[in-house]
Chain A
Amino acid sequence: MEQDQPATDCKLDQMSQGIIGKPISRSEGFAKVTGTAPYAAEYPIENCLEGVLVTAPIARGKVTSIDVDAGLEMDGVIAVVEDERMIARPAQGTAGEAPVQQPRQVCYWGQPIALVVAETFEQARDATKHLAITFDADDLKDVPFDPHQVEPESQESSSQGDLAKAMNDAPHSIDAHITTTGHASAAMEPHSAIAEWDGNMLTVHSSLQMLNYNIAELADSLDLKEDEIRLVSRYVGGGFGSKLGVSEETVAASIAAMKLNRPVRVVMSRQQVFQCIMRRSETSQRLRLAADNDGGLTGFGHQALVSNLPGESFAEPVLQSSHFLYGGENRLLEMDVARIHRMTAGSVRAPGEAVGMPALEVAMDMLAEESGVDPVELRLRNIPESHPIKGTPFSSHRLAECLKQGARQFGWDGGSRQPRHTREGEWWIGTGMASAARVHNISEAKARVTIKADGTAVVETDMTDIGTGTYTILGQIAGEMLGLPRDKVLVELGDTQFPRGSGSGGSWGASSVGSAVFVACEALRKSLAERAGVAEDKLKLKDGAIQNGVSLVDLLEGEDLSEEGHYEPGDIDDDYVAASFGAYFTQVRVNHFTGETRVERMTGAFGFGRVLNETTARSQCIGGMTWSIGAALTEALHFDPVDGHLVNCDLAEYHVPVHRDVPDLQVIMVEERDPAASPIQAKGVGELGVCGGAGAIANAIYNACGARVMEFPMTPDKVMARMPDD
């Protein structure tokens, strides 16, 4: 089906099984915690060779020679693969075609240039360190690494009215410059692949988020047809955007397997994952807010500078939610991209909002102080009726409800916001809040649902589950529609032998492929209704039987019944603005002497359409809030100023939050139905938790100790430097 109209009456609310939305634990959870769920590199494949990528220790230039013969002399080495089909960068999310190839042209420090294949992993790794390679390296003086060093390109620009005049005329205005550092996805499972070639068919176990696009990217890279490739990705140990597109190890393993006629496994080292997989761009942002006496916005400006390699179309979409979150008739939104030679910038958890929203929310906090309006009230007053420029209505909008419910549960008192109000020993204690917003993405998706003659059902799609709960929620949708308990529905994912799903990314998996399963189930219900001789809307299915007591097994008379559901977004997004919203409230303590900040408690209230599973949705919110703590306080990529290489390329030095940094996070799910978002009335939730939370923490730091830090992450040195003297 194509969705052109809101789906106002959703069958999921009329069914009898009663499992949709329920807090059901992830069906694969037991296998994962007991170590029996195989990840990509763990499939036991006989006769498998081990490949290790060779990377370039130069920022830009050409590989002039690789001494393959000497390489082959090394212990255990079977091959040194250099091939111009190898990819030099990972594919961007949803690219569906090969990224930049020809790895001999080096564009960033750490770029893969060849693959050493040996009998053992240790032999291959050792050989990569001793392979004689010559380079024609460009003079570092001519290679820009700093986005402020180059003249940027304009990426987007829109304006309405006269922002400068509005700023000038307004009784209250804020002009804030805020920076964020680059981020790494930092997924636990490194990028890895095992490729096998039987002369006709290439089978690759790989750790990927979007097989439906990845198969096209791999086929294009290798010059194969899609039907000559099978990709398998049943379990993914975290993606966070870094596995949206096919990456270097998968293509290299495939080429080696085809050349050597033996299976080849390639697993990136942790350092390689950091150095040649996507980074989130650093950003420099300017926020201008003009407001009337009551805090009502009259002007709204958000400008950003981001970076990427030459030739990349992706630019961190910093302004994405700024277009519609708050009103203000005079608007200016501009984004530039600087071409520099750090590794590829691409999607890293909630591209855009994860860094744009915290900056905006810091500026809003400054405006609240400047105008004397409580921060919650300020946001409530500035929620627009419709899209501030296009005028289109919102498909659903729960920001106000999230702000109110969150404030109530947190105990936000709306009282004085004077900083430095509470000190316990060395620690200042303060509170802060922020809004959350994330655009709603949705994609075409297919899924096949089969009711077997034995009365069980099978859902099949090449959709992935990257730890988010896809296996579980698809089983709940099918079970609800077909009247089956969750354990009577087998969900098979992550294999391109199945119909093309949507892939996991942009928080779109649940609504996209969930809708495809829903559509398939609607068709199955029609067939069942015909067999039972009742109208479809009168067909009541529960626990494997219809209302008159006849079981599905009897109804099917030994046959399987199968339907493929095909969902397409249609043109409904012309008529509505669809987004998820929320609010964060947090209390932090900041050490007066050292600037160390610890989050004491945090409440998030989120509205994201239908909740398909209370447990997995809550987990997504908690995960996002945890990443908010990282973005606020610790996560930063550090690049060497001389040759642009990433210096902190492991999990000891790239600081994601540890357990002790994360307090008990309170999540409120403000449930709603969004008929225009998807046929199942669900929106995305995966990324929403990280879309502004760092701003709440920054605002709490200011409220605690009076340090208004304008640089994320707010590490002790930065907080200390802004700490007011007594």
Chain B
Amino acid sequence: MRPFQYARPDGLDHATQLTAPADTMAIAGGTNLVDLMKLQVETPQELIDINRLTMGEIADTDDGGLRIGALATNTATAAHDRVRREYPVLARAILAGATQQLRNKATTGGNLCQRTRCYYFTNIDQPCNKRDPGSGCGAIKGIARLHAILGTSPQCIATYPGDMAVAMAALDAKVEITAEGDKGRTVPVRDFHRLPGDKPEKDNVLEAGEIITGVTLPGPVEGKQIYRKVRERSSYAFALVSVAAVVAMKDGRISRADLAFGGIAHKPWYDPRLSELLVGEAPSAALFDKAADLLLEDAQGYGENDFKIPLARRTLAATLANATGVEL
């Protein structure tokens, strides 16, 4: 761990000033950042501890939705009464991630910003364009078991590792961001994370000096909510593939199909074409196949992760079958 300065801001505005310079980073739960600092994957000169800012509230919004403060812990969010009743896909996604001890510390904002688990990213003696732009990608020709099959670039095939954000993408949640001088903006979770392109070092759209203050969920919708995470062991493992689904039926036809995927791309993967294809149709194995064809049209494996293409197909089919009551 490199020596670093530590500062505690007086308020949110102060926090945005302190985090504006390069080489500063905000720290909340620290469940990812501290590990990466020990490995010197992250080497901030100054840490801005935002834990004492009052951003932990979970509250109803005027339009019937729910606002989850950036510092609300994963445990608190997953246990919140309205989350459990009205947004169960979010509660289940959070509980599918990490361990109880980690969820007690991990926060909403921090979880959105967690970094990839690519083996080459976390090993500073290996090339990685995300950690060290221009150094190359060790994973493309290496062990790509955890890696992406959609939206990759020749620079980077890393995945976003989280679960919470996948559910939030299905729910079409919005990320509230503030910057110095009260310059705020709101970004849909679906657009918050980026594809790697030729700037894999940038995971998401957050700029220096910007701080996530909360995430807003729209009012609850009808339908069945499912979070399905495929992994080797039943806890404390990142998703090989995950699906968050909010699916409703009306008169034997699908009336809503909001689907997001984890473990297959640099961001929670949301493809609006799936909803267009599925809504208005009667559910069937053939329809689910068509949806998978569309989802995986441009999918590309890198050897070790080739299995994710059939796995995503089968997991999607199983999830849709479960949501619509079709027997496969």
| Residues of A in contact with B (beta carbons under 8 Å apart) | 57, 75, 122, 125-126, 129, 269, 271, 426, 591-596, 598, 633-634, 638-642, 645, 647-649, 652-653, 655, 657-661, 713, 715-717, 720-721
Decide if B3 touches A640 in the complex (CB within 8 Å): no
Decide if A720 touches B125 in the complex (CB within 8 Å): no
Distance, CA A721 to CA B236, complexed state (A): 24
Query: Which residues of chain B come closer than 8 Å to A595, judged between CB atoms?
Result: 311
- B101 CB–A CB distance under 8 Å: no
B269-328 with Cβ < 8 A to chain A: 307, 310-311, 314-315, 317-318, 322, 328
Query: Which residues of chain A come closer than 8 Å to B138, judged between CB atoms?
Result: 640, 642
- B221 CB–A CB distance under 8 Å: no
Decide if B119 touches A647 in the complex (CB within 8 Å): yes
Decide if B240 touches A717 in the complex (CB within 8 Å): yes
Query: Which residues of chain B come closer than 8 Å to A652, judged between CB atoms?
Result: 117, 236-238
Distance, CA A17 to CA B321, complexed state (A): 65
Known: A593-B328, A642-B142. 10 other contacts (CB 8 A): A57-B126, A596-B232, A633-B232, A638-B143, A640-B138, A642-B138, A652-B117, A652-B238, A658-B235, A658-B236
Decide if A593 touches B317 in the complex (CB within 8 Å): yes
Can you offer 23 A-B residue contacts whose CB atoms are under 8 A? A126-B2, A129-B40, A426-B318, A594-B318, A633-B233, A634-B232, A638-B143, A638-B145, A639-B143, A642-B141, A642-B142, A645-B126, A647-B123, A648-B143, A649-B123, A652-B238, A653-B117, A655-B233, A658-B233, A658-B234, A659-B235, A660-B235, A720-B311
Minimal Cβ-Cβ distance residue in A for B2: A126
Distance, CA A717 to CA B306, complexed state (A): 9
Distance, CA A170 to CA B125, complexed state (A): 55
Query: Which residues of chain B come closer than 8 Å to A633, judged between CB atoms?
Result: 232-233
| Residues of B in contact with A (beta carbons under 8 Å apart) | 1-3, 38-40, 117, 119-120, 123-126, 138, 141-143, 145, 230-238, 240-241, 307, 310-311, 314-315, 317-318, 322, 328
Decide if B233 touches A75 in the complex (CB within 8 Å): no
Known contacts A633-B232, A648-B119; A716 and B40 CB within 8 A of each other:
no
Known contacts A57-B125, A129-B124, A593-B317; A647 and B142 CB within 8 A of each other:
yes
Query: Which residues of chain A come closer than 8 Å to B142, judged between CB atoms?
Result: 640-642, 647
Minimal Cβ-Cβ distance residue in B for A129: B40
Residue of A122, A426, A715 near B232 (CB, 8 A) is A715
Query: Which residues of chain B come closer than 8 Å to A592, judged between CB atoms?
Result: 318
Q: Taking chain B's interface residues, is the majority helix, strand, or loop, or is none over half, making it mixed?
A: loop
Decide if B235 touches A593 in the complex (CB within 8 Å): no
Distance, CA A507 to CA B232, complexed state (A): 30
Query: Which residues of chain B come closer than 8 Å to A721, judged between CB atoms?
Result: 307, 310
Query: Which residues of chain B come closer than 8 Å to A659, judged between CB atoms?
Result: 235
Query: Which residues of chain B come closer than 8 Å to A648, judged between CB atoms?
Result: 119, 143
Query: Which residues of chain B come closer than 8 Å to A720, judged between CB atoms?
Result: 307, 310-311, 314
The 4 closest A-B pairs by CB, nearest first: A57-B125, A717-B307, A647-B119, A593-B318
Query: Which residues of chain A come closer than 8 Å to B38, judged between CB atoms?
Result: 125, 269
Residue of B3, B39, B120, B232 near A655 (CB, 8 A) is B232
Nearest CB on B from A341, distance (A): 16
Known contacts A125-B1, A129-B40, A426-B318; A660 and B234 CB within 8 A of each other:
yes
Minimal Cβ-Cβ distance residue in A for B310: A720
Decide if B236 touches A594 in the complex (CB within 8 Å): no
Distance, CA A458 to CA B255, complexed state (A): 77
Decide if A596 touches B307 in the complex (CB within 8 Å): no
Distance, CA A271 to CA B123, complexed state (A): 9
Residue of A57, A596, A638 near B230 (CB, 8 A) is A596
Minimal Cβ-Cβ distance residue in A for B327: A425
Distance, CA A594 to CA B142, complexed state (A): 24
Query: Which residues of chain A come closer than 8 Å to B39, judged between CB atoms?
Result: 271
Distance, CA A593 to CA B314, complexed state (A): 5
Distance, CA A426 to CA B233, complexed state (A): 17
Distance, CA A717 to CA B311, complexed state (A): 7
Query: Which residues of chain B come closer than 8 Å to A594, judged between CB atoms?
Result: 230, 241, 311, 314-315, 318
Distance, CA A657 to CA B314, complexed state (A): 25
| Residue of B119, B138, B233 with most partner-chain A CB within 10 A | B233
Distance, CA A165 to CA B314, complexed state (A): 45
Distance, CA A659 to CA B235, complexed state (A): 8
Known contacts A640-B138, A641-B141; A657 and B233 CB within 8 A of each other:
yes
Minimal Cβ-Cβ distance residue in A for B240: A716
Nearest CB on B from A141, distance (A): 14
Decide if A126 touches B307 in the complex (CB within 8 Å): no
Query: Which residues of chain B come closer than 8 Å to A598, judged between CB atoms?
Result: 234
Nearest CB on A from B47, distance (A): 14
Nearest CB on A from B61, distance (A): 35
Query: Which residues of chain A come closer than 8 Å to B119, judged between CB atoms?
Result: 638, 647-648, 653
Distance, CA A306 to CA B310, complexed state (A): 32
Distance, CA A595 to CA B124, complexed state (A): 34
Query: Which residues of chain B come closer than 8 Å to A661, judged between CB atoms?
Result: 233-235
